[in-house]
């Protein structure tokens, strides 16, 4: 019985030593994991939320295992966190590229649409007699819509300049929809000149004869 107790005690001591020898490396792995996670989680939450959730779950799992004294498991899980952080970084970069491409397309089309609406509204405002399908109330409504569209596009542009790509694209797409609706109401086609606006435009100065 005494020998059995001695053997059991020796085995427990060995296990304790093994656990102690694993604690340091596990703790170091956790610190590395925490650093890599903290470097990417802010942007990751915006641009790659699902992958960021997986990354944070892995870190939490490793931390829980460490707190329970399972240093081997903690170390194994923690060592995989930096690679997952790199995956999040790659996903964020890809999403930013996609959003930038979308914004570039918006910036290439929306200002022209706004300018078409403005030209039409200016032309209508300058007319002494409005077309039969137009009245003063509709002109005023178009002016208000133009002001709203112009203001919203300014907000979208500011969001892009500040690096808020998601907000910029959301606002920009909303502006494009509003502009398209207003163009439809005014009988305009994107990129096509408006005859009424051209007719009310100031005539070009006559060439001098020598």
First to last CA, the chain: 128
The answer to whether residue 118 sits within a structural domain is yes
Given a cut of 60, whether residue 66 has pLDDT beyond it is yes
The answer on 106 and 36 residing in a single domain is no
The answer to whether residue 205 sits within a structural domain is no
User: 13, 47, 79 — which closes off a domain?
Assistant: 79
The answer to whether residue 209 sits within a structural domain is no
The answer to whether residue 204 sits within a structural domain is no
Total domain count for the chain? Answer: 2
The answer on 27 and 106 residing in a single domain is no
> Apex CA 48: angle with CA 175 and CA 42, to 5°?
95
The answer on 124 and 44 residing in a single domain is no
Mean predicted confidence (pLDDT) in 69-77: 97
Write down how long the chain is. 210
User: 79, 114, 148 — which closes off a domain?
Assistant: 79
Q: Which domain holds residue 140?
A: 95-199
The answer to whether residue 175 sits within a structural domain is yes
| Strand boundaries in the chain, DSSP class E | none
Global pTM value: 0.76
Q: List, for residues 163-210, the tens digit of each pLDDT value.
A: 999 999 999 999 999 999 999 999 998 766 665 555 544 444 544 443
């Amino acid at each position: 019985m005494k020998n059995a107790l001695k053997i059991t005690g020796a085995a427990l001591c060995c296990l304790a030593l093994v656990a102690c020898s694993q604690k340091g490396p596990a703790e170091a792995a956790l610190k590395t994991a925490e650093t890599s996670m903290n470097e990417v989680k802010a942007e990751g939450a915006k641009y790659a939320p699902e992958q960021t959730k997986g990354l944070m779950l892995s870190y939490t799992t490793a931390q829980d295992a460490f707190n329970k004294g399972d240093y081997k498991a903690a170390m194994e899980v923690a060592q995989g966190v930096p690679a997952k952080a790199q995956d999040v970084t790659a996903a964020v970069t890809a999403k930013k590229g996609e959003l930038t491409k979308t914004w570039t397309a918006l910036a290439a089309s929306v200002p022209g649409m706004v300018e078409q609406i403005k030209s039409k509204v200016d032309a209508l405002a300058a007319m002494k007699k409005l077309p039969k399908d137009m009245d003063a109330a509709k002109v005023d409504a178009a002016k208000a819509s133009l002001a709203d569209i112009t203001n919203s596009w300014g907000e979208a542009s500011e969001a892009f300049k500040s690096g808020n790509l998601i907000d910029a694209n959301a606002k920009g797409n909303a502006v494009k929809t509003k502009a398209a609706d207003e163009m439809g109401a005014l009988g305009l086609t994107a990129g096509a000149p408006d005859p009424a606006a051209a007719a009310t435009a100031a005539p070009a100065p006559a060439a001098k004869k020598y």
